[in-house]
Amino acid sequence: MTTLPPTRRERVRAATLDEILQVARRLLVHESITGVTLRAIAREMGMTAAALYRYYPNLESLVAGLCARLYDECTTEISDARDRAGSDPGARLYAMCRTFRAWSVTHPAEFNLMFASPVPEAGRLKTGEFGAGFRFALTFADIFGELWQRAPFPVPPEEELPPLLAEQLHQFVDELGQQGARPGTSSLPVGAAQLYLSCWVRMYGIVALEVYGHLKFALSNVGPMFDAELDAAAQQLGLDPTRYRDRPL
Amino acid sequence: MTTLPPTRRERVRAATLDEILQVARRLLVHESITGVTLRAIAREMGMTAAALYRYYPNLESLVAGLCARLYDECTTEISDARDRAGSDPGARLYAMCRTFRAWSVTHPAEFNLMFASPVPEAGRLKTGEFGAGFRFALTFADIFGELWQRAPFPVPPEEELPPLLAEQLHQFVDELGQQGARPGTSSLPVGAAQLYLSCWVRMYGIVALEVYGHLKFALSNVGPMFDAELDAAAQQLGLDPTRYRDRPL
DNA sequence: CACCTGAGTTAACACCGTTTACTTTGTCAT
DNA sequence: ATGACAAAGTAAACGGTGTTAACTCAGGTG
């Protein structure tokens, strides 16, 4: 299956699609989510609002498209930071988590759109197609697999987990191994999968609380607390936090 | 200072204020946040939208009022569950966390409004007045103080914490002791304050992820994972999770 | 060249928040 | 009891919104 070269019209259309999301994002940042309207986007593009219906069936799906692009950007930034960090899985994990926080704190409007809206793409995990949000989660699953392969850390044995939890985690690990043939994650014990989710809960929790200002009642600068949480998580994964302190992003 | 009996007009006004928030909430639940509009509220009340300006200066502050009421409801429900759980601080903590999750999962629209909008009430902690959201956080701080007074758990000594974190936590503990003269929290070591925040991050993280469906990629039923997280947090606080399993809410 | 399709326009409809000027009605002091 | 006053509510308007329908115009294809 060879891809034909894109015709002139196709190129123009792609550029317009790109500009739409670019303008939508500028509005999101400067005017908050209520500012991203069809008419405002069209106005900034020198167009009519009705013309945007050639590109998206309605505002909601336009915003969904923006959301997907933001996931891609965030994921790319995290992956890049990971790769810049070298080959030590610990250093890579630290770089990823720090980049996730830095991106979220500097992009609160985007974070809010991505992580605080109900995700409709629910049940269709088996179809093979999955959204940008899922790809985001897999990036963290991958580094977890790396970490485990390099140096397995102690995890609770399957027998100790509540059966209902073990069952779900088992299925999750299986799907992880199938989807995209991700090496390292297919042989994870369910206890490691639980640890993965637990660490993710921790990272998401502190970053979301910081972004929304819900820690201001206790902390004026969340940075040190974030570092402490990251260190604690790393320790659970058999890493020595002192090795990764004071590294630039 | 004796409070005069409320005049007829005052009673009617109070009832109207109440009905406004009631209707606003019904719209929030059934139509999502975009459905709570002045015109829709007025329509359901048999009024004109302009009349609502006698009660709130604009839509935004009406929504803020709704948000405060929701905080109060959630806090009350959690406090009630705590008191029903008896006097064992461990049982009380479990009841609170489980009620927090149950309320959040059954009220996703409300949760979204409360916990996923930037909080403007930032710097005015020292003025003595604080919002409903702050009162919510204090409820969890209180049980933490109870727990510590009953049986101090091991916490990292102040010298081991990063200085920038220790400094902030110290100020936090001091403020906690002053505000409302809360017994038990004023003498908390800063390591305990860190543990408090860490546990809160964990609870908020898993509940928010569940509410937004961001764990569907791994878990079809978050209940067991939540229980595991709660047990892990309890263990850090010197509690024996097996004592609190299988208790009704 | 005729044809068709994709991109864009204009105009309209039904909503929305907010303001203004106006009417009604409860309360309170004389 | 009555008159003054302020609170509560109304109608009308302004500018903004998403969305649809009918229309024009230009690019690409037989």
For residue B47, say whether its CB is under 7 Å from any atom of strand C.
no
- What would the pLDDT profile of B121-145 be if each residue is shown by its tens digit? 544 444 444 567 778 888 999 999 9
On chain B, the residues whose CB falls within 8 A of the CB of A203 are 205
For residue B8, say whether its CB is under 7 Å from any atom of strand C.
yes
The reported pLDDT for the residue numbered B3 is: 53
Greatest CA span in chain A, whole angstroms?
A: 63
The reported pLDDT for the residue numbered A115 is: 87
* Percent of chain A whose pLDDT exceeds 70: 89
Q: Torsions phi, psi of B146, nearest 5?
A: -55, -50
- What would the pLDDT profile of B206-228 be if each residue is shown by its tens digit? 999 999 999 999 999 999 999 99
For residue A45, say whether its CB is under 7 Å from any atom of strand D.
no
On chain A, the residues whose CB falls within 8 A of the CB of B119 are 212-214, 216
On chain B, the residues whose CB falls within 8 A of the CB of A193 are 218
Q: Which bases on strand D have an atom closer than 7 Å to a protein beta carbon? A: 7-12, 16-22, 27-29
Output the CA angle A158-A164-A167, nearest 5 degrees: 60
Verdict on whether the full-model pTM lies above 0.85:
yes
Q: Is the pLDDT of residue B30 over 80?
A: yes
Of B202, B224, B227, which has the smallest distance from its Cβ to A201's Cβ? B202
Of B161, B201, B220, which has the smallest distance from its Cβ to A202's Cβ? B201
Minimal Cα distance from A123: which residue of B? B216
Q: Is the pLDDT of residue A27 over 70?
A: yes
